[in-house]
Amino acid sequence: MELLFVTVGGALLGLAARYVVPGDRHTYGVLLTPAVGAAATSAVWVALLWAGLTFDGGWIWLVSLLVGAAASLAVPFVLPARRQAADQALLVELSRAA
């Protein structure tokens, strides 16, 4: 049950990251940052459980949610620049072919 709670928390942090970080929101979808936040948070949670932390401890919650927030914040900073560069490269390639 706690895995569900931490995954929802990661998704909410990702949703907040989409609207907190200024930039080109049209280069990625609405659900990308929540999905990244949820995936990163749940993966870290499971890894920390396997490492021996217990679900009722505070560290597992803190580390999982911080990693999920960091992953969610990385998407709006990294993805638009890479997407625009890839689009520009594709435009140059297609313009040469014609």
Helices (H), 21-57: 32-50
Q: How far apart are CA 40 and CA 26, in angstroms?
A: 23
The amino acid at residue 57 is G
Q: How far apart are CA 67 and CA 78, in angstroms?
A: 16
Residues 6+ apart with CB under 8 A from 24: 80, 84
Listed by start position, the domains of the chain span 2-97
Express each pLDDT in 8-43 by its tens digit. 999 999 999 988 988 788 888 899 999 999 999 999
Q: What is the pTM of this model?
A: 0.85
Q: Name the 3-class secondary structure at 78.
A: helix
